[in-house]
């Protein structure tokens, strides 16, 4: 059953759009810092925080897509989109 669910999710994700990523990776920061993981694990930074949407040029369009690097409370940096 999990295989079918994965296929359905993949089809759904493939039908969504995302703005051009012009910001650095948003995940795996040391908390309360702007430094990527300095723990013994040395995890690779990644783009976990994303905004996916159904594009409709007539009614909905992405104007701006960026991270919010000033936030340091988590190991993630939030991402915002203006439509």
Residue 6 in any domain: the answer is no
pTM (global) more than 0.85: no
Residue 32 in any domain: the answer is yes
For the residues 70-81, what does the mean pLDDT come to? 92
Residue 60 in any domain: the answer is yes
CB under 8 Å to 26, separation ≥6 — which residues?
46, 47, 48, 49, 67, 76, 77, 78, 79
Q: Using one digit for the tens of pLDDT, what is the confidence trace for 4-54?
A: 555 566 777 788 889 999 999 999 999 899 999 999 998 899 988 899 888
Taking alpha carbons only, the member of 79, 77, 81 closest to residue 35 is 77
- Does the pLDDT at position 1 exceed 50? no
Residue 53 in any domain: the answer is yes
Domain holding 28, by residue range, is: 17-83
Place of tokens 């359905």: 8
> How many domains, the chain?
1
Q: In whole angstroms, what is the distance from residue 18 CA to residue 62 CA?
A: 9
Place of tokens 């409370």: 73
Residue 3 in any domain: the answer is no
Q: In whole angstroms, what is the distance from residue 37 CA to residue 44 CA?
A: 8
């Amino acid at each position: 059953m999990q295989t079918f669910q994965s296929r359905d999710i993949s089809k759904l994700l493939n039908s969504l759009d995302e703005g051009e990523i012009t910001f650095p990776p948003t995940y795996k920061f040391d908390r309360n810092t702007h430094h990527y993981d300095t723990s013994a694990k040395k995890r690779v930074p990644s783009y976990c925080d994303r905004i996916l949407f159904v594009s409709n040029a007539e009614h909905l369009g992405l104007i701006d897509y960026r991270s919010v690097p000033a936030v340091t409370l988590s190991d993630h940096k939030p991402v915002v989109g203006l439509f």
